[in-house]
Amino acid sequence: MPKLTTPISDEEIRSLKAGDTVYLNGIIVTGRDAAHKFMIEHFIKKPVQPDEQELYDDLKELLDGGVIYHCGPVVKTHDDGSYSFVAAGPTTSIREEVYQADVIRHFNLKGVIGKGGMGGNTLKACAEQPAVYLHAIGGAASYIAQSVKEVLGVYKLEFGVPEAMWVIRVEDFPVVVTMDSHGTSLHDTIQAQSKEVLVGLIS
């Protein structure tokens, strides 16, 4: 089974096809609605302000060739101030469709992890970048948390634990490529096939 380690190269991304199962390794960043909205409004649609320059520079480095994970984790705080993930299941990704293509292009993302797939704008960005959408296992939050070996830091904790941007190191995080850089979306394919079956049942 192929393994990907961040930062990921264009060549590695182009070698992947929809349906491939891979193990993801390295440093990734979580980000849901609040994080994506913040990046669009503060970093992409207008000049970066001086008080946010350090955060922007950090994210540019972390996400360059990197992966963002649509995840609202359950996090344990230890006595020494460190953190660990108790649960790390994927969030439904379509909520980020309005933001995702711009974030992919601006930060040179190579992967987006979530569940449920995304739409045409994201698929187009994946082809142009290139990048892939990686489907994580829904309902397996505790199992996925076992792949999170270290919490390296957190940004925007004021958004709340689920919406903060957690910087984590993962080992052998299992994901499936369901949207590749060649214009194929398994989500679109399955929807079309399901519709065809439904029409056959009711006709």
The per-residue pLDDT for range 116-135, each reduced to its tens digit, is: 999 999 999 999 999 999 99
The domain spans of the chain are 3-202
pLDDT at 197: 56
DSSP 8-class letter at 64: T
pLDDT at 106: 98
Question: Which residues, 6+ apart, have CB-to-CB distance to 87 below 8 Å?
Answer: 73, 74, 141, 142, 144, 145
pLDDT at 196 over 60: no
Average pLDDT over residues 59-85: 97
Split at pLDDT 50, 70, 90, the class of 61 is: very high
State the catalytic residue, choosing from 36, 70, 135, 187.
36
Longest dimension (CA), the chain: 64
pTM: 0.92
Q: Please provide the CATH number assigned to the domain covering 3-202.
A: 3.20.130.10
pLDDT at 72 over 80: yes
The per-residue pLDDT for range 10-43, each reduced to its tens digit, is: 999 999 999 999 999 999 999 999 999 999 999 9
Q: Is 70 among the catalytic positions?
A: no
State how far the Cα of 199 lies from the Cα of 201, in Å rounded to an integer: 5
Structure tokens at 34: 């609040």
The overall average pLDDT reported for the chain is 94
Average pLDDT over residues 175-201: 78
pLDDT at 119: 96
pLDDT at 107: 98
The per-residue pLDDT for range 34-53, each reduced to its tens digit, is: 999 999 999 999 999 999 99
Between the two ends of the chain, the Cα-to-Cα distance in Å is 42
